[in-house]
């Protein structure tokens, strides 16, 4: 696993000495996420793991500057998306775009880094199908489900028509599903016929 090369002397999730992920963290990451309903606007959804413990630690470290950690996360999600049959001829892989200020601060877009391996494994193009209209005035972390929906209601748009397109949306974490639903609305308004989702992790809270 690529993580073994990134962290050759300790577990990147818990710090246990040894090569790469320790057995207990591997087991947690391999466990399926809690069953939650598919967000409105999506035809199907696949999630890699539950957003807790090692999964949360890895993603937070990646978003704090360890960009190289995102590729193995994307590779795992890519395998799950392939098994779920989310690829296929004509499918466009589209990453949920971060806020402009967040991309500027990090120097990269986490969802796009995860989406790259997904697109490569599925043999589908990574398409710049969405843009985010305006930066949020406050972070979405800690917001209620209704506040999250309001914050992203009109935050996304498709800059070009996508008539009849089949889309696979990729994001890092699903919390309430508000962001994926807003993206799906924008894509369907542009003409997309099918919109599915793939997320690295999903939180245990309900949608």
Task: Tell whether 73 and 161 lie within a shared domain.
Answer: yes
Task: Tell whether 85 and 184 lie within a shared domain.
Answer: yes
Q: Which residue has the higher pLDDT, 56 or 139?
A: 56
Whether 159 is covered by a domain: the verdict is yes
Asked if residue 149 has pLDDT above 70, the reply is no
Whether 141 is covered by a domain: the verdict is no
Task: Tell whether 111 and 46 lie within a shared domain.
Answer: yes
**Is residue 52 left, alpha or beta, with left meaning phi > 0 and alpha meaning psi from -120 to 50?**
beta
Task: Tell whether 114 and 67 lie within a shared domain.
Answer: yes
Task: Tell whether 16 and 63 lie within a shared domain.
Answer: no
Task: Tell whether 12 and 77 lie within a shared domain.
Answer: no
Given this model, what pLDDT does residue 92 score? Answer: 97
CATH code (residue 164): 3.40.50.2020
Task: Tell whether 74 and 87 lie within a shared domain.
Answer: yes
Q: Which residues are paired to 195 by β-bridges?
A: 167
Residues spanned by the domain of 38: 32-135+149-202
Whether 207 is covered by a domain: the verdict is no
3-state secondary structure of 67: helix
State the helix-helix crossing angle for 145-152 and 178-189, rounded to 10 degrees. 30
> Which stretches of the chain are DSSP H helices?
2-6, 23-30, 53-63, 70-83, 100-106, 110-122, 145-152, 178-189
**Is residue 89 left, alpha or beta, with left meaning phi > 0 and alpha meaning psi from -120 to 50?**
beta
Asked if residue 30 has pLDDT above 90, the reply is no
How far is the C-alpha of 113 from the C-alpha of 135, rounded, in Å?
A: 20
Task: Tell whether 164 and 194 lie within a shared domain.
Answer: yes
Asked if residue 127 has pLDDT above 80, the reply is yes
3-state secondary structure of 70: helix
Q: CB of 11 within 8 A of CB of 20?
A: yes
Task: Tell whether 60 and 44 lie within a shared domain.
Answer: yes
Given this model, what pLDDT does residue 39 score? Answer: 92
Closest residue by Cα to residue 98 from 58, 133, 127, 65: 133
Asked if residue 85 has pLDDT above 60, the reply is yes
Task: Tell whether 81 and 71 lie within a shared domain.
Answer: yes
Whether 83 is covered by a domain: the verdict is yes
Whether 158 is covered by a domain: the verdict is yes
Taking residues 163-171, what's their average pLDDT?
A: 97
What b/e readout covers 121-132, taking b as 16+ CB neighbours within 10 angstroms? bbebebbebbeb
- CB within 8 A of 128, min separation 6: which ones? 94, 159
Whether 143 is covered by a domain: the verdict is no
3-state secondary structure of 103: helix
Asked if residue 170 has pLDDT above 70, the reply is yes
Whether 144 is covered by a domain: the verdict is no
Task: Tell whether 19 and 56 lie within a shared domain.
Answer: no
Asked if residue 67 has pLDDT above 50, the reply is yes
Q: Which residues are paired to 16 by β-bridges?
A: none
Task: Tell whether 49 and 80 lie within a shared domain.
Answer: yes
Q: What percent of the chain has pLDDT over 90?
A: 46
Q: CB of 157 within 8 A of CB of 133?
A: yes
Q: What percent of the chain has pLDDT over 70?
A: 83
Number of domains comprising the chain: 2
3-state secondary structure of 93: strand
Closest residue by Cα to residue 57 from 34, 73, 78, 35: 73
Given this model, what pLDDT does residue 105 score? Answer: 86
Given this model, what pLDDT does residue 206 score? Answer: 47
Given this model, what pLDDT does residue 65 score? Answer: 84
Whether 142 is covered by a domain: the verdict is no
Q: Which residue has the higher pLDDT, 119 or 29?
A: 119
Question: For residue 5, what pLDDT band results from cuts at 50, 70 and 90?
Answer: very low
Residue with tokens 């090692």: 54
Asked if residue 4 has pLDDT above 60, the reply is no
């Amino acid at each position: 696993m690529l993580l073994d090369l990134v962290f050759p002397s300790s577990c990147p999730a818990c710090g246990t000495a040894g090569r790469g992920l320790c057995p207990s963290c591997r087991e947690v990451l391999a466990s399926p996420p809690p069953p939650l309903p598919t967000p409105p606007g999506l035809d199907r959804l696949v999630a890699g793991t539950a957003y807790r413990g090692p999964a949360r630690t890895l993603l937070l470290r990646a978003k704090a500057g360890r960009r190289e950690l995102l590729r193995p996360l994307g590779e795992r999600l890519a395998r799950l998306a392939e098994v779920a049959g989310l690829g296929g001829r004509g499918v466009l892989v589209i990453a949920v775009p971060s806020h402009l200020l967040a991309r500027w601060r990090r120097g990269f877009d986490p969802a796009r880094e995860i989406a790259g391996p997904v697109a490569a494994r599925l043999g589908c193009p990574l398409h710049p199908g969405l843009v985010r209209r305006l930066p949020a005035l406050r972070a979405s972390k800690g917001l209620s489900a209704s506040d999250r929906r309001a914050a992203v209601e009109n935050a996304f748009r498709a800059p070009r028509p996508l008539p009849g397109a089949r889309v696979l949306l990729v994001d890092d974490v699903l919390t309430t599903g508000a962001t994926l639903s807003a993206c799906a609305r924008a894509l369907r308004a542009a003409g997309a016929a099918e919109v599915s989702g793939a997320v690295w992790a999903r939180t245990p809270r309900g949608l």
